Chain A
Amino acid sequence: MQLKRVLTLRTVVATSAGLTLASSSFVAAVLVANYVLGDTAWIAILIGGALCFLAAACFSELNGLLPTAAGIRLYFSRAFNDQVSLVISLLYMLIVVIGVVGVESFILSQVLSEAFPAIPPYLWIVVMLLLVTGMNLRGIKMAGVFQDVVTYSLIAVMLFIGFFALYKVGFKLNAPLSPGGATGMIQAVAVGVFLFVGFEWVTPLVEEVTQVKQISRGMMIALGILSVVYAVFTVAMTAVVPKATLVASPAPQLVLARTVLGDLGASVMILVILATSLKTFNAGIISVSRFMYASAREHVLPAVFSKISMRFFTPYVAIITLFFIGLLAAALTMLTGNYVVLVGLAAAMESIVYTLAGLAVISLRRKMSDRERPYLIKGGYLVPLLTALVFTLLAVAVLASDISALLYIAAAFVVVLVYVNTAVPRLKKKYEARKPAARRRPARAPEGLESK
C-alpha cells in the first residue's frame, strides 16, 4: 500500500536546510569567528557541522524506531519518562521560539529601518508578525516548491557572494589554519551549533516519505551543504570586513553584500533577509502552534489552546498567543538590545536536546531491543555516547561563557518544572471531572453470554 502523496529527497533536504537557515544564523557565524583567531572560523563551523552529524545519526535511529510527528515528545517519553519528556519539550519550544523570534525580529527591524529610516523599527516587526499570523490563521501554507526555491536560491546567493568576496581579496586569508587556544575553539564550536538549530525539525515528515531512511539522508545532506555554505560565507565576511565592524552589526551578511557588491548587493541581501525571516517566522508559528494544540488535546496545556477555527481548521488561539509572545520577545530584545544572549540560550538548549537524543538512543536500545530499526547507527554505543558527551560539553561551554544565558535557562527550567508538577496534574484532573460518566463504547458481554 502506497500513500498518494509522498515527498521527494529534494524537499526533505530543502526543509531541513530551510528550517536551519535564518537571518540570525549570521550573527552566530560572526560570534564563532570572533572566538577564534584570523580567518579560521571555517574550522569551528566544519567541526560544529560534523558534531551535528552525530546528533543527526541519533535522530535517524529514533525516528526509524518511532516514526511520528510528535518527535522528541515521544522519543524522550519512551526513553526516560513522561515528565522528563514534557519538561524538555515545553522548555525547547519556549526557548527556541523566544530565542529565534527575538533575534530574528531584531535583525529584521534593524535592516528594514536602515533601508526605510522613516518607519520605526518596531512597526516592521508588528507588520511581519501580523502577516505571518494572518497566513497561519487562514491556513495559507507556502507551497513545497516555493519553499524549495527560496531555500536553494538562498544557498546559491550565499555561495555566490562568499566566493565573489574571496575572489575580490584574491583568496588571501589571514592565518586560515591557526585558530588559537582550545578554549576559544570550544566556545566557537558551541556557538556554532546555533548555525544548525532546527535541522532535525524535518523528522515529523517521516510519515510522508516512502522510506524512513530518506529523512536521515536528507538531514545528512542538508548538514553537509550548510556546513560548506556557512564556512565559505563566514570566511568571506572576516576576510573582507574587519571583525569589529561585523560584531557591531546585527546583520553582518548585509555588511558583506554592501562591501563587495555595493548598493545592488545590499538590495539583494535585504530581499534575502526578508524572505528568510518570513520563512523562519512561518515555520516557527506552524510548528509551535501545532505543538500547543496537541499539548492542549492531551491536557498538558489549558484546553483553550485546542480551540479551532470553524472556517479554516486552524488552532487560532495558539496562533494568536504566539503572535503576542513574538511581539513581547521582539519588544524585550529591542529594549535591551541584547540579542546575542538569545543566540547562546538557543544554542545551549539545542545542545541539551542533542545530549538527550544520544541518551535516548542508548536507553531505547535496552528498553525496545526487539523492535525493528530501519536505521541502526553502526559501532554500538560509540556514536550515541559521543553525542551525549560532546553536546554536554558544548552546553556547558556556552552557559559558562554567558552567565545571563545560564540564568535565563535556569529560570525557565524552574518555571516549566513547577508548571509540569503543579498545573498539569490539575488540568488532567479537571479533564477527568468533565469526561462523560459512562464510556460511549458499549460494554462487552461477558465471555460465554454472547451465544446465549
Chain B
Amino acid sequence: MATQQEIKESLETFTENYNNNDRLKIMNRDWNRVVVVKATDVDSVHTWVLQDGVLKLKEGEADAPDLTVISDSETLADVFYGDITPIEPYNDGTLRIMGSEDDITRLDFICLMIWGE
C-alpha cells in the first residue's frame, strides 16, 4: 500500500512533467477540466485543475469534477509515476474513471505523451 505522501509525490511529478511539455500545454489550451484523484485504501484526495493548458494540483476534493479517478494507492502511484499505463488497471477493473469516454481517452493520451508507451 502506498502512502498519502507517495500519491501526492506521484501527482506532483506528473504535474511537473505535464507543465514542462509545451506541446501538451498548447494541445490542451481549450480542454479546461477538473479531475479528482481518490485513493480507496488511504485517506488521499487531490484535485487537478487544467485551465488554459496549465495544470495545477490542489489537495482535497472539487465539487463538480469532469473526471474522477479512483483506485487503490499502489495503482495510483504507479500510474502517475508512469510505471504502468492507465489502460492496464482500467481494463482489469482495478482503476475506475468516472467521466465522459472522450475525457477518459484524453487523459490516457496525456499519460502516453508524458511517459511514452
Interface of A toward B, CB cutoff 8 Å = 1-5, 66-70, 73-74, 77-78, 141, 204-205, 207-208, 290, 293-294, 297-298, 303, 306, 308, 310-311, 313, 431, 434, 439-442, 444
- The yes or no answer to B42 lying at the interface (CB within 8 A) is no
**Which residues of chain A are near B96, meaning CB under 8 Å?**
67-68
CA separation between A440 and B102, bound complex, in Å? 28
List B67-100 residues whose CB lies under 8 Å from chain A.
68, 77-78, 81-83, 85, 87-88, 90-93, 96-100
B93: chain A residues at CB < 8 Å are: 66, 68, 70, 74, 78
* Closest B residue to A311 using CB positions: B27
Query: What residues of chain A lie closer than 8 Å to B66, measured between beta carbons?
Result: 3-5
How many residue pairs bridge A and B at CB < 8 Å? 98
Contacts of B27 in A (CB 8 A): 310-311, 313
CB distance A4 to B64 under 8 Å? Answer: yes
- Among B9, B27, B78, B115, max chain A CB count under 10 A is at B27
6 closest pairs, A vs B, by CB? A441-B81, A297-B87, A440-B81, A207-B98, A4-B64, A70-B91
Q: Are B65 and A1 in contact (CB under 8 A)?
A: yes
Residues of chain B lying within 8 A (CB to CB) of residue A77: 91-92
CA distance A308 to B107 in the complex (A): 13
Q: Which of B13, B68, B102 contacts A3 (CB 8 A)?
A: B68
Residues of A within 8 A of B112 (CB): 297, 306, 308
B85: nearest chain-A partner, CB-CB: A297
Complex Cα distance, B105 from A269, in Å, reads 36
A26 to chain B: closest CB distance in Å? Answer: 29
Question: Does B65 contact A298, Cβ atoms closer than 8 Å?
Answer: no
B101 and A204 contacting across the interface, CB-CB below 8 Å:
yes
A294 contacts B81, C-beta separation under 8 Å = no
Rounded to whole Å, the gap between the CB of B109 and the closest CB of chain A is 5
> In the bound complex, do residue B64 and residue A3 qualify as a contact, i.e. CB atoms below 8 Å apart?
yes
Any A CB within 8 A of the CB of B106: yes
Residues of B within 8 A of A442 (CB): 9
17 A-B residue pairings within 8 Å (CB atoms): A1-B61, A1-B65, A3-B65, A3-B98, A3-B99, A4-B34, A68-B96, A74-B92, A77-B92, A204-B101, A294-B87, A308-B113, A310-B27, A313-B106, A434-B117, A440-B83, A441-B77
Q: How many Å lie between the Cα of A16 and that of B26 in the bound state?
A: 36
**Docked-complex contact B78 and A441, CB < 8 angstroms:** yes
Could you say which residues of chain B place their CB within 8 Å of the CB of A290?
A: 101, 105
State A441–B34 Cα separation when bound (angstroms). Answer: 25
On whether the beta carbons of A440 and B101 are closer than 8 Å, the reply is no
Contact B81 A439 (CB under 8 A): yes
Q: Which residues of A contact B77 (CB under 8 A)?
A: 441
Cβ distance B30 to chain A, nearest Cβ, rounded Å? 11
Residue of A nearest to B36 (CB): A1
CB-CB under 8 A from A297, the residues of chain B are 85, 87-88, 108, 112, 117
Chain B interface residue count, CB cutoff 8 Å, equals 43
With an 8 A cutoff between CB atoms, is B29 at the interface?
no
**Roughly how many angstroms separate A70 CA and B85 CA in the complex, as a whole number?**
15
Name B104's closest neighbour in chain A (CB-CB).
Answer: A69
Known interface pairs A207-B97, A313-B27, A444-B6; A1-B117 also in contact (CB < 8 Å): no
User: In whole Å, how far is A382's beta carbon from the nearest beta carbon of chain B?
Assistant: 26
| CB of A97, distance to nearest CB on chain B (Å) | 18
**Cα separation A58 to B10 with both chains bound (whole Å):** 39
A3-B66, A441-B78 known; A69 vs B101 contact (CB < 8 Å): yes
CA distance A154 to B78 in the complex (A): 47
Cβ-based interface call for B23 (8 A): yes
Chain B residues closer than 8 Å to A69, beta-carbon distance: 101, 104
Query: Which residues from chain A contact B102 at a C-beta distance below 8 Å?
Result: 141
Given contacts A310-B27, A434-B117, A439-B81, 17 further A-B contacts (CB under 8 A): A1-B36, A1-B68, A3-B66, A68-B93, A70-B91, A205-B101, A207-B97, A208-B99, A290-B101, A297-B85, A308-B112, A310-B23, A313-B106, A313-B109, A440-B13, A441-B6, A441-B81
B106 to chain A, nearest CB (A): 6
Q: In the complex where A4-B34, A308-B109 touch, is A73 in contact with B91 (Cβ < 8 A)?
A: yes
Shortest CB-to-CB span from A139 to chain B, Å, is 8
Alpha-carbon distance A298/B109, docked complex (angstroms): 13
- Chain A residues near B64 (CB, 8 Å)? 1-4
B32: min CB distance to chain A, Å: 11
* A441 and B83 form a contact (CB under 8 A): yes
Contact A207 B101 (CB under 8 A): yes
CA distance A306 to B85 in the complex (A): 12
Q: A234 vs B61: C-alpha distance in the bound complex, in angstroms?
A: 53
